[in-house]
Amino acid sequence: MSIETPVRAQGDLRVIDEEGQLIDPNSLPEITNEKLTQLMERMLFTRLWDERAIKWTRQGKLGFYAPVSGQEAAMIGSEAALSPDDFILPSYRDVPQAVWHGWPLYQAFLYSFGHQQGNQIPEGVHTLPPQIIIGAQVVQAAGVAMAFKLRKEKRVALAYIGDGGTSQGDFYEGMNVAGVYRLPLILMIQNNQFAISVPVEKQTAVKELAKKAEAAGIEGKRVDGMDVLAVYKAVQEAVQKAKAGGGPTMIEALTFRYGPHTMSGDDPGRYRTKELEHDWRARDPLVRFRKFLQSKGLWTEEAEQRVEAKAKEEVQASLDQANKYPAMTLASLANHMYGKMPRELARQVAGSGLNADSGVK
């Protein structure tokens, strides 16, 4: 199965090819050498973190986990184009973006455990916890962007969603509000070709998901989601436009997740061919960007080894920190849910068998 047709469809934004060569010297985004190396460092860190998280999930050391390898360019490139004051609204797979935006990694592991403290976002970190309900983050993002507009703040909200999520009602409702009120919202579709096991062509008739933006009267772009510079450039331009009052943008990043949808029993071998996976792995975002940086003298084997060592150390330390975190209690669980605990619930917590100090992992 060939990937040539969908990847090179008219209108796609690409900056570097599979060999790491600039397609057009004028297409390079506004970016410093320091930022270029940071993109590589974060993509490599995320790949190693993902590989360990998959192993740990299989060993029973983590709870819920959605693999990300293959999508690093779409994830890291988009977050890197934001400022710290911009707001991220992630889906359940978009943990890396939230972490690179300031969410502590040990809390991401607590979130995987199902611990309430994982969702306690630190003050000054502008992200919501990962959204499990498909599409709900788009409606929330419209609300966040509306607040920015009403307050006349030069900030944007960026919501992530997968290809399958674009068939949800919340997606259209949030998109419509953004279009009507010209909100500073960026809607990032990571089209990884399969909504769990359903090919994109079987869950929507539109040929390019970015064209769904037309229904809301907003701009839609389609980019090569395996090209971190293309993603960075598209989001950078969308941020500049939104902060200048130009309204929302929808960006479809064509990408591919190598692993299963989640680690909860999904087997991609039942609905994807080896040929398709081989085609997409030939466009691996780390490989092509590494070649680009090496050609500019910005990346070496020593740098790679240094980042790998740091990633292994920090990921292990974060898991250890999460494992040492105090267990939840029934009382703390109830108190986090209510400002004032209802009388009946307070009675149950205090009652026999529901000790307030009972640990809940």
Q: Which of 126, 261, 283, 290 is catalytic?
A: 261
Name the helix (H) or strand (E) containing 147.
Answer: helix 136-150
Closest by Cα among 187, 156, 147, 186 to 87: 156
Q: What share of the chain is helix, strand, coil (3-state, %, to 5)?
A: 50, 10, 35
The Cα 206–Cα 211 span in angstroms is 8
| Whole-number Å distance between alpha carbons of 161 and 163 | 7
**∠ at Cα 39 (70, 257), nearest 5°?**
10
Residue 328, token pair as written in the block:
């939840």
Please give the Cα distance from 73 to 162 (Å, whole number).
15
Which residues have CB under 8 Å from 193's CB, separation 6+?
Answer: 163, 199, 200, 256, 276
Active site residue 261: yes
CA–CA gap between residue 196 and residue 241 (Å, rounded): 33
H or E, element range at 192: none
Cβ-contact 64, 134 below 8 angstroms: no
Q: Which helix (H) or strand (E) holds 276?
A: helix 274-281
Q: For residues 187 and 220, what is the distance between their CA atoms, to the nearest angstrom?
A: 9
Catalytic: which of 257, 272, 283, 290?
Answer: 257
Active-site residue (options: 8, 58, 271, 306): 271
Told to judge if 271 belongs to the known catalytic residues of this protein, a careful annotator would answer yes
User: Rounded CA gap, 204 and 285, in Å?
Assistant: 27
* Angstrom distance (rounded) from CA 13 to CA 24: 11
Taking the mean position of all CA atoms in its chain, how far away is CA 236?
16
- Could you list the active site residues? 257, 261, 271
